[in-house]
Chain A
Amino acid sequence: MNGFKKDMLAVLGFTALLFILPGFLSNDYYVNVLTLSLTHAIIAIGLNLLMGYAGQVSLGHAAFYGLGAYTSAILTTTYAFPIPLAMLIGILAAGLVACLIGVPTLKLKGHYLAMATLGFGVIVYIFFNETIGLTGGPSGFTGIPRLHVLGYTFTSDRSYYYLVSLVLAGVVLLSLNIIHSRIGRALRAIHTSETAAQNAGIDVAKYKIFVFVLSALFAGLAGVLYAHNLAFVAPSSFGFNFSVELVTMVVLGGMANVWGAVIGALFLTILPEYLRIFENIEIILYGGILIVFIIFLPEGIAGGLVKLFSMLKPKRDDGAGGK
């Protein structure tokens, strides 16, 4: 079985799993939490391509998420654009901004890159808060229409969940393809050593911009999906804390592993819901779990699972096996 078929099967299995899942949930609230966690997974996958594969840290990805969400929200509500068109513009807006700030920013390395993306994120966050006439300011932007396309309106929470599941499956498949292509190999080469990659004939600047813009497009896509699901957006969802949470999703799930980003996003979005029963010690537990997981699973949850499987697998010594 070649790589593509294997990925195809895995994605199909994953989608099937996502489709059965709501059957076990009695309450639509839980379906909504799942939808949100899948939305976060879309961003985390993009950020993982940037961080895990290309080795470029971004502490400002919540801004692209917000740009997508606000652009589509404002165009449909204030300017009465058709929803699919507004969504497309929202996604492209996130990508365009990424392109503009990526050119000077991606020349920076390490902590300086982290700082620049962080600064960008804070500026966009303040912009959402202060341009009250446009965005509604800190109290948020209301009255965003729910998605309707080709005469069908996604009114129920479950129908929207299925839509987001399909989009996520598409994003996973696309990302797996990119990783196994020439681009993916170039990105990993850049992660190992930019100078060496350059000497091997890889256009480092071009690939860095490409993956940065791609991750911003994914974040923008998640943003437009978020806006037309909740019908309400507020700046607090797109601040520095969420950018940090996204990075945490990638690291906790497992760097340089597409499925890891999905696991990290699901885990960190659903965990607070479970911790809610502990009421006021909720935040302490969240912080504590984060520390313990990183201490005991340094390669993330996905990395831990891979290790576990390789330990369980009986060792073959005939040498005839393999892929």
Chain B
Amino acid sequence: MGLSSYLQFLISGVTMGSIYGLTALGFTIIFNTTGIINFAQGEFVMLGGLLSVFFLKWFDAGLPLSIVMAILTTTAIGGAIERFAIRPVRSASVINLIIVTIGVSIFLRGLTVIILGKDTFGLPHFSGSVPLNLAGAAVMPQSIWILVITILLLVLLRLFFTRTIYGKGMLACSYDKKASYLVGIGVNGMILASFFISALVGAIGGAILTPVTMTSYDVGIMLGLKGFSACIIGGLGNPFGAAAGGVILGVLESFGAGFISSAYKDAFAFFILLILLFVKPSGLFGQSKIERV
């Protein structure tokens, strides 16, 4: 196989990996403020894509407006989940909270099936589907959209966490909730905000991915698993490590599918993950925690 096919695998890997990275970022933001692995994270990605399809169909509002509406709706749903399912049980143990998010994801999938059905839907490409030629590899314009939007989103989040008072407040919550509360940070508001931002990031990922891969009510499960894997590769709790973990996972998977077998694509990704965990138990970019006795 020539250089062009390597390049082709790399490009498709980075495209999928960006979405895994965005999903992983969503996981990390909620994990940092609450300690919960939010099993409904994949559902945000699914809703972002599927709602875009339906807003486009129902309101005939044009692609950009439909996507914006879908993202806003999903963000609102994310906030509602925190307010009505997580906040009432905040004092419960982490495993219970995780089960609640599992319940929420089942609930959201069920609701989606009733309202939108079980079919598979596509979304038009943002700017045509004529592939560009890059050193012998075909690049879909949508891949470029995905890359640019992902990088933009990462920069904006970076600025949010380091330059704004709200972002700093959220970071403070992830270090120590009680101390944050004592210095006057509204912890409840921060947790709500983390759900808003996670849902927003997930929905954007879903909306930009759908033109490439199509979508249906159940795509959230696998995307959620891959996103969670990406978090672990990056070291849980590190948002930008998670995004990098996503890209690494996407690229490995793409090369695995290309060179070994596409049927074992997912197995390959998880196999690498297991090896990595055995060698470096706290992820690539995570530092091991000291346990207090």
- Hey, which bits of chain A sit against chain B, CB under 8 A? 51, 57, 104-105, 107-109, 111-112, 114-116, 118-120, 122-123, 126-127, 130, 193-196, 240-241, 244, 247-248, 251-252, 255, 280-291, 294-295, 298
- The residues of B that contact A281 with a CB separation of less than 8 Å are 110, 114
Across the interface, do A195 and B281 meet the contact criterion of CB distance under 8 Å? no
Q: Shortest distance in angstroms between A118's beta carbon and chain B's nearest beta carbon?
A: 7
A108 touches B89 (CB 8 A): no
- Quote the shortest CB–CB distance from A225 to chain B (angstroms): 26
For the complex, give the distance between the alpha carbons of A123 and B114 in Å: 32
Bound form: Cα–Cα A247–B39 in Å: 13
Quick check: is B61 within 8 A (CB to CB) of the other chain? no
Question: A244 and B229: CB pair below 8 A?
Answer: no
A284 and B264 form a contact (CB under 8 A): no
Query: Roughly how many angstroms separate A126 CA and B273 CA in the complex, as a whole number?
Result: 15
| CA A127 to CA B111, docked complex, whole Å | 32
With contacts A287-B104, A288-B103, A290-B103 known, is A123 near B113, CB below 8 A? no
Q: Which chain B residue has the least Cβ–Cβ distance from A55?
A: B95
Q: What DSSP secondary structure best describes chain A's contact surface?
A: helix
B5 to chain A, nearest CB (A): 23
**Does A298 lie within 8 Å of B89, measured CB to CB?**
yes
Could you tell me which residues of chain B, from 170 to 214, have a CB within 8 Å of some CB in chain A? none
Q: CA–CA, A193 to B291, complex, Å?
A: 9
Contacts A248-B99, A290-B103, A294-B92; A130 near B110 (Cβ below 8 A): no
- The reply to whether B106 and A286 contact each other, CB–CB distance below 8 Å, is yes
A27 to B44, CA, bound (A): 42
Binding site for A on B (CB under 8 A): 37, 39, 85, 88-89, 92-93, 95-96, 99-100, 102-111, 113-114, 221, 225, 228-229, 232, 236, 263-264, 266-267, 270-271, 273-274, 277-278, 281-283, 291, 293
Q: Name the distance in Å between B64's Cβ and chain A's nearest Cβ.
A: 31
- A251 contacts B225, CB within 8 Å? no
In contact, A283 and B96 (Cβ under 8 angstroms):
no
B278 surroundings in chain A (CB, below 8 A):
104-105, 107, 116
Closest to A241 in B: B221
Check A240 against B225 for contact (C-beta < 8 Å).
Answer: yes
Whether the Cβ atoms of A112 and B99 lie closer than 8 Å is no
A246 to chain B, nearest CB (A): 12
Cβ of B291: which chain A residues have Cβ within 8 Å of it? 194-195
Q: Are B85 and A298 in contact (CB under 8 A)?
A: no
A282 and B106 CA atoms in complex are apart in Å by 11
Q: Across the interface, do B267 and A126 meet the contact criterion of CB distance under 8 Å?
A: yes
B159 to chain A, nearest CB (A): 28
Identify A119's interface contact among B96, B107, B229, CB under 8 A.
B229
Q: In the complex where A123-B267, A196-B293 touch, is A283 in contact with B113 (Cβ < 8 A)?
A: yes
With the chains together, A51 CA to B94 CA distance in Å?
Answer: 13
A107 to B278, CA, bound (A): 8
Tell me the bound Cα distance from A112 to B273 in angstroms. Answer: 10
Which residues of B are found within 8 Å of A286, using beta-carbon distances? 106, 110
Separation in Å of the B198 CB from the closest CB of chain A? 16
Contact (Cβ within 8 A) B293 A195: yes
Most A CB atoms within 10 A — which of B95, B106, B108, B293? B106
The chain B residue sitting closest to A288, CB to CB, is: B107
Q: In the complex, are the beta carbons of A282 and B277 less than 8 A apart?
A: no
Are A123 and B271 closer than 8 Å at their CB atoms? yes
Bound form: Cα–Cα A283–B93 in Å: 25
> Do residues A111 and B37 form an inter-chain contact, with CB atoms below 8 A?
yes
Residues of chain B within 8 A of A122, CB atoms compared: 225, 266-267, 270
Which 5 interchain pairs have the tightest Cβ spacing?
A: A283-B110, A287-B107, A287-B106, A290-B103, A284-B110
Question: Roughly how many angstroms separate A118 CA and B110 CA in the complex, as a whole number?
Answer: 24
Closest Cβ–Cβ distance, residue A289 to chain B (whole Å)? 8
The CA-CA distance from A51 to B95 in the complex, in Å, is 10
Contact status A280-B113, CB under 8 Å: yes
Q: How far is the CB of B236 from chain A (nearest CB, A)?
A: 6
A-B contact pairs, 30 of them (CB 8 A): A104-B278, A105-B274, A105-B277, A111-B232, A111-B236, A112-B236, A112-B277, A112-B281, A115-B277, A116-B278, A119-B270, A119-B271, A130-B264, A195-B293, A244-B39, A244-B102, A248-B99, A255-B95, A281-B110, A283-B113, A284-B107, A284-B110, A287-B104, A290-B106, A291-B104, A294-B99, A294-B100, A294-B103, A295-B85, A298-B92
